[in-house]
A and B are shown apart, each in its own frame.
Chain A
Amino acid sequence: MTKKIGIVIVSHVPEVAAGIPRLLEQVAADVSITFAGGTDDNDIGTSAAKISTAFTENKADEIAAFYDLGSSKMNLELAVEMTDKKVHIYDAALIEGAYTAATLLQADVALKDVEEQLAPLKIK
């Protein structure tokens, strides 16, 4: 059964965004994981529209979002303002943070405990 909280990965690079879910799926088969990478033209950058789509396509109504560099957070925030879903943005190291969250969400750990484990991974 799909878990209540999903994960969205945002990166400047399309291949990075697409690659991280492959890693996470190994530990979180039931967590809905979607991603947004690159600009609308698949150049290096981020796109609020692509992030919105990743929110919509995610099977969960509550989302833990992870991102790589500065401007991806701004576009994430813009996309959050455009969605009805509940989105939590984490300033954690992208891969380590998302991997930690995926592992714990798969094990039905409560979000506040997930956040506690994400805290030391905060790097931005």
Chain B
Amino acid sequence: MLTVELTKKWMELFYDEIDKNKAYLSELDTPIGDGDHGNNMKRGVTGVKEGLAKLKEPDLKATLQAIAMALISKVGGASGPLYGTAFLEMAKKCNETQKPEELFTVALEGIKKRGGAKEGDKTMVDVWAPIVKTFSDGSFSKEEIKKAVESTKDMEARKGRASYLGERSIGHLDPGAMSSGYLFETFIDAGGTK
């Protein structure tokens, strides 16, 4: 069950992970993007931290909304509206259900709608889609997350700036898939599967 405490812990760990891997994310983004994914995400998670600190005894909905607004307004690149939409959709749904599986499902639908990407386009969807599925067969784990991130390496980009490179994008991990991997890994570390 997603709770305010779990969400806060999750965002703290996500901040640490992005901070630690900022240079690596930008490095992944350099051959196939504009080399700023690490900095963009760092700006976003910093905004999330500040946004959450301002809330006084928030409920889950207010917590998720604050995360969404911070990501939308601070990230700047495509990741801002995409991650922001994911959390906004979770916020809309969370009074009805707190099951991670169902919340991640609506988040994924939001990402797909906002960005227009399908599975196989070499985007964050290639992590979100298979990971959402692992909840139903109980295989949600860091191994599955890693596998999903790695799967983007051999794909040809069909969305975002990497798509301008066409088949030259093959052989590179997608940076948005990598940061999504960190998001799910830190969800596990925060105790999301307990």
A: residues with CB less than 8 A from B are 39-40, 43-49, 69-71, 74-75, 77-78
Contact = CB atoms under 8 A, between A and B. Distances in A.
A77 B114 contact: yes
28 contacts: A39-B74, A39-B76, A40-B73, A40-B74, A45-B40, A45-B76, A45-B77, A46-B76, A47-B76, A48-B72, A48-B81, A48-B84, A49-B72, A70-B78, A70-B160, A71-B77, A71-B78, A71-B80, A71-B81, A74-B78, A74-B85, A74-B115, A75-B72, A75-B80, A75-B81, A77-B81, A78-B81, A78-B114
Interface of B: 34, 40, 72-78, 80-82, 84-85, 114-115, 159-161
Of A43, A44, A46, A71, most buried by chain B (CB within 10 Å of CB) is: A71
Where chain B touches its partner, the secondary structure class is helix
B88 to A, nearest CB: 9
A77 B75 CA distance: 16
A40 B77 CA distance: 12
A75 B79 CA distance: 10
